[in-house]
């Protein structure tokens, strides 16, 4: 038996090794199991499949299991109707499966909830079986993907006792896609949604997108840009959205849309969009009814209002709660929700832009409808390489808050730089807010356990486009994957997520996994060092945000770099202490006290909260100036280390993806040097201090870097 599987395995391995690897399969490659002993273990443990249920979701879960096992194990696992021998996988719910109903799983399934599942070894009529059980067909599907992940990552299935359920209810991607198929802050081609061909033509890629999301537990997709276009709410476009929703539904994915607040005027021909005007409220109610006629499981609306020029309730002297509640009332009869973004700041430059969201939303706590979530960016500015956690987390106990994480690398090298974002997400989610005393991380705020909220959610700004490998950079796929895993369980570690992704995407060879994992886990800190060390922020080029721009001083003050770094002859940094903007007051004690003092403030946020003298001694014993130069230089040298480590991985990676990453790392080194040299030369005009010994000297003059223009930034029109 083993010999037969071995021969079949060798044949499949030989064939697949000849195929070009373009990255389209993402982490669902289902490569043949290369460990012969493990292969024998799997084949001995799995002899048949019994999927019980008739829904389209159960059908696709069954097909996924069958196809995945066939490829990985080198033999087709038959579908069976009875448990006549050991090793049958029984998948279903207590309602669909008499076998599952007969087992004592009631307590375990009660904890699993609507979408969770259990995977365990059991016995039925003296036969050893593997159970994948859930309360819903969607839960069964998620369990199937988990089981396949066990095989993909070469784990034993002889002792299974897995209980998994999502910690957040709504786990969705925010697509910043426009109706002309351009993608704001998108670096991987055009939008997936081909509106011109919809609803008549629905391509295979929509299904593949839904399948990839389902495999990591994502259950929602906001199809349109937060800088919304009211046309998406017209009948013709709703029909197009419905065609997408029909593809997504079997994968338990709901569609959501962004609602332009002025839509009643723009497409409804009303004279006002005042949320307290009965005619406006009625218009939105009828519009919601129309959408639900086309899409019965429509998820609801995401809204950006009164920010960066977008219309909103404040145009009519109304509050964010007035606007959100009006929309919430429109979708509530259908079970819909409203996600209202807290990313707000106006044209009147405040003393500190970082404070504005907190100031506007905290007084509204408890004034929002039960089906409203406030969507809060991980930090108080705008997806910077490093920010402190947003002070709103924990500050609105009567209102469910959902984090908005950016998967697309707007400020972290687009789809050119290798930057694994799970450490950034984890840093935020594990930050202790002290909202409920010590041990109250952001994760506990957003998963509802702190304030007993039933409606919970997490959003990620998508990095997906229509390029063949979906995300541009092969490693950028890991950020999509990491978001999904953390949305399901915000307590996961970056290391575990990276380990899974590498094994599913590249190789299970331990020596390669450990090397690549270290590259990934270090990559975010490397980028911070060559871009914005020690708490610097918002010093990028003003238009594309790709390269450095600490010299940017024109336009709106809170869009300039000088507004944030405030470098002068004395020092550098934004004073947010009680003697400055007092942004620290928005945090709970003792967090505010830690941030308040230079000696206790984490050095990686020092210049975020303090204006620090150039000669200030850091814990390393070096002056601020010397340490800043050292961090910039170490960032560049660390990119070279990434190149070296990737070179050592060549034998484990297919040639196509190996060469692609190798070429991108060359660009990343170039960009890191530009960041380092431009920033050091610019800040040196204030510090008047020499560049320390041992640090590479800039190759060009400051004038060169100030006038440098990139010609190869993905997604940027020139």
Residues with catalytic roles? 308, 382, 410
Whose CA is closest to 306, among 284, 330, 291, 322?
A: 322
Tokens 């012969």 identify what position? Answer: 36
| Residue 117 tokens, joined | 């599942």
Quick check: helix, strand or coil at residue 490?
coil
Q: What is the DSSP letter of 650?
A: G
Instruction: Please state the separation of Cα 246 from the chain's center in Å.
Output: 24
Whose CA is closest to 425, among 345, 480, 463?
A: 480
What totals of helices (H) and strands (E) does the chain contain, helices first? 23, 15
Alpha-carbon dihedral 89, 94, 100, 105, rounded to 10 degrees? 120
Q: CB-based contacts of 595: which residues, under 8 Å, 6+ apart?
A: 388, 576, 577, 584, 587, 601, 605, 609
**CB neighbours of residue 311 within 10 Å:** 20
CA distance 350 to 558: 8
Terminal-residue alpha carbon distance, the chain = 61
641-645 CB contacts, 8 Å cutoff, 24+ apart: 642/418, 642/519, 642/523, 642/526, 642/668, 643/669, 645/515, 645/516, 645/518, 645/519
Contact (CB, 8 A) for 413 and 668? yes
Whose CA is closest to 528, among 432, 604, 435?
A: 604
Q: Where are the alpha helices (DSSP H) in 116-203?
A: 137-152
CA distance 171 to 484: 7
Quick check: helix, strand or coil at residue 333?
helix
Tokens 């669902």 identify what position? Answer: 28
In 198-253, at which residue ranges do the beta strands (DSSP E only) sit?
220-222
CA distance 468 to 58: 29
CA distance 535 to 576: 12
Q: CB-based contacts of 473: which residues, under 8 Å, 6+ apart?
A: 415, 416, 417, 418, 661, 664
Alpha-carbon dihedral 471, 472, 476, 480, rounded to 10 degrees? 0
Could you give phi then psi for residue 277, rounded to 5 degrees?
-80, 120
**CB neighbours of residue 600 within 10 Å:** 10
The partner residues of 51 in beta bridges, in order of sequence, read 91
């Amino acid at each position: 038996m083993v010999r037969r599987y071995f021969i079949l395995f060798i044949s499949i391995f030989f064939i697949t090794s000849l195929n070009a690897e373009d990255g389209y399969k993402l982490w669902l490659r289902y490569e043949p199991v290369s460990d012969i002993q493990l292969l024998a273990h799997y084949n001995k443990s799995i002899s048949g499949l019994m999927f019980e249920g008739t829904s389209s979701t159960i059908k696709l879960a069954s097909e996924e299991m069958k196809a995945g096992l066939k490829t990985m194990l080198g033999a087709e696992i038959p579908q069976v109707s009875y448990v006549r021998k050991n090793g049958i996988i029984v998948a279903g719910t207590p309602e669909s499966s008499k076998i599952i109903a007969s087992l004592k799983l009631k307590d375990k399934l009660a904890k699993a909830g609507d979408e969770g599942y259990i995977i365990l070894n059991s016995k039925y009529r003296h036969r050893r079986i593997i159970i994948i059980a859930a309360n819903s067909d969607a839960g069964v599907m998620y369990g199937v993907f988990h089981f396949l992940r066990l095989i993909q990552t070469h784990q034993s299935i002889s002792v299974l006792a897995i209980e998994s359920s999502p910690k957040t209810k709504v786990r969705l991607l925010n697509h910043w896609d426009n109706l002309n198929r351009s993608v704001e802050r998108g670096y991987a081609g055009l939008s997936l949604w081909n509106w011109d061909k919809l609803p008549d033509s629905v391509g295979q890629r929509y299904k593949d997108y839904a399948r990839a999301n389902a495999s990591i537990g994502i259950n929602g997709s906001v199809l349109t840009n937060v800088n919304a276009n009211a046309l998406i709410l017209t009948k013709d476009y709703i029909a197009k959205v419905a065609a997408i929703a029909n593809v997504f539904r079997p994968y338990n994915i709901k569609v959501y849309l962004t609602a332009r607040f002025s839509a009643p005027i723009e497409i409804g021909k009303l004279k006002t969009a005042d949320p307290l005007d009965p005619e406006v409220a009625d218009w939105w109610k009828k519009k919601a009814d129309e959408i639900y006629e086309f899409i019965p499981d429509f998820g609801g609306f995401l809204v950006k209002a009164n920010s960066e020029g977008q219309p909103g309730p404040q145009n009519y002297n109304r509050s964010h709660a007035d606007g959100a509640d009006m929309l919430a009332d429109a979708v509530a009869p259908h079970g819909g929700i409203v996600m209202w973004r807290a990313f707000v700041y106006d044209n009147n430059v405040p003393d500190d832009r970082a404070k504005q969201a907190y100031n506007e939303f905290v007084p509204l706590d408890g004034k929002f409808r039960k089906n409203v979530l406030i969507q809060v960016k991980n930090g108080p500015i705008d997806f910077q390489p490093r920010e402190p956690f947003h002070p709103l987390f924990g500050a609105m106990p009567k209102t469910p808050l959902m984090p908005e994480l950016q998967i697309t690398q707007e400020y972290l090298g687009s789809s050119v730089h290798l930057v694994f974002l799970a450490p950034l997400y984890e840093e935020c989610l594990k930050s202790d807010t002290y909202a409920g005393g010590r041990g109250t991380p952001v994760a506990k705020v957003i998963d509802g356990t702190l304030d007993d909220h039933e409606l919970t959610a997490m959003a990620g700004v998508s990095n997906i486009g229509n390029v063949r490998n979906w995300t541009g950079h092969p490693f950028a796929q890991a950020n999509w994957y990491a978001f999904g895993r953390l949305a399901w369980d915000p307590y996961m570690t970056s290391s575990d997520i990276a380990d899974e992704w590498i094994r599913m995407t590249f190789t299970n060879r331990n020596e390669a996994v450990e090397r690549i994992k270290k590259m990934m886990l270090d990559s975010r800190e490397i980028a911070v060092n060559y871009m914005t060390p020690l708490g610097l922020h918002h010093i990028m080029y003003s238009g594309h945000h790709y390269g450095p721009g600490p010299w940017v001083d024109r336009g709106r003050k809170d869009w300039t770099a000088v507004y944030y770094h405030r470098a002068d002859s004395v020092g550098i940094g934004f004073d947010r202490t009680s003697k400055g903007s007092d942004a620290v007051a928005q945090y709970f004690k003792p967090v505010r006290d830690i941030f308040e003092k230079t000696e206790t403030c984490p050095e990686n946020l020092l210049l975020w909260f303090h204006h620090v003298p150039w000669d200030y001694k850091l814990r390393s014993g070096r002056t601020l100036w010397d340490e800043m130069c050292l961090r910039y230089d170490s960032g560049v040298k660390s990119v070279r280390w990434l190149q070296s480590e990737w070179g050592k991985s060549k034998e484990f990676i297919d040639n196509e993806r190996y060469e692609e990453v190798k070429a991108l790392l060359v660009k990343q080194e170039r960009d890191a040097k530009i960041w380092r040299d431009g920033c050091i030369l610019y800040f040196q005009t204030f510090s008047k201090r020499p560049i320390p010994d041992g640090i590479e000297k800039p190759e060009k003059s400051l004038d060169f870097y100030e006038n440098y223009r990139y010609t190869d930034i993905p997604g940027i029109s020139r």
